[in-house]
Amino acid sequence: MGVRYARFEDIKYAAMIKVFLMGGFLMTKVITKKIKCANCGTESEQMIVYSINYSLGNQEDNARLREHKQVCPNCNYTAPNIDFKIKALNVVPYKSVGDLTFGMKREEVRNIMGGYKEVPKSQFADNSSDSFNRLINCYYDKNNNLNGVVISNEINVTLDGKTILPISEDEFNKMFDDAILNYDGESITWVKSVGITTYNYDGEVDTLTIGTRDFFGKKQNNINWEDNKDEI
């Protein structure tokens, strides 16, 4: 079987991570709270930026809030959320990502994952999303039920005992008989059998998106692929 290709515009969710600041309206919500450093266990008072109203305040202040990082006073660990502990996750296609199960309520996801930052909805999404330490982004349907998760390649991801992140684009594509590659410039892979889209950069899988059938939508599920497309 040859390599299959499809057009990027049909693989909508790989593009979401790039446009997640477009549109949407959120209240600015910032609080100070005692949290435990995931690196050394020291508790300290930290500012948590849960959401930002980009239509209020000046751009510089909003950018500062968006870029805010917590610093552990004991070990100097610096991250958007220093209490974020996840380093590895196992995924079960169309079902779960680590301790998160698709269909789970947003509040439950936040309780499990800890400090979040709400990201305004993009033109492709039904709802705003939650970013956890900028390493994991959770997406929800209109009823606030979890339906998609984007994972950065700083997290180790396994599927059926095999590592699927971090991984090179080529290795990933070879793992699945039904991998469909984009031929419109951006390097993207869609694997329907496991409900995963990847965004690839510099020969490596950069982010991996896993979701429900509804999350990817009819268009992506019924994608028209072609064998051995010449125009890449």
Q: Which segment (51-59, 75-83, 96-104, 114-122) binds Zn ion by CB under 5 A?
A: 75-83
- CA-CA distances (angstroms) from residue 125 to 17, 47, 164, 216, 224? 11, 28, 25, 10, 22
If the CB atoms of residues 71 and 175 are measured against Zn ion, the closer one turns out to be 71
Task: State how far the Cα of 18 lies from the Cα of 161, in Å rounded to an integer.
Answer: 30
Burial class of residue 225 in the structure, from the number of CB atoms within 10 Å of its CB (0-12 exposed, 13-18 middle, 19+ buried) = middle
Radius of gyration of the chain (CA): 18
Contact between 172 and 189 (Cβ < 8 Å): yes
Could you say whether residue 176 binds Zn ion (CB under 5 A)?
no
Site string for Zn ion, 23-52 (x = CB under 5 A): --------------x-xx-x----------
Closer CB to Zn ion, 42 or 62, in the complex: 42
Say if CB 147 and CB 141 are below 8 A apart: yes
9 vs 45, beta carbon nearer Zn ion: 45
Name the residue nearer to Zn ion (CB basis): 56 or 75: 75
Q: With binding defined as CB under 5 A, does residue 193 bind Zn ion?
A: no
Contact between 78 and Zn ion (CB under 5 A)?
Answer: no
Q: Return residues touching Zn ion (CB under 5 A).
A: 37, 39-40, 42, 72, 74-75, 77
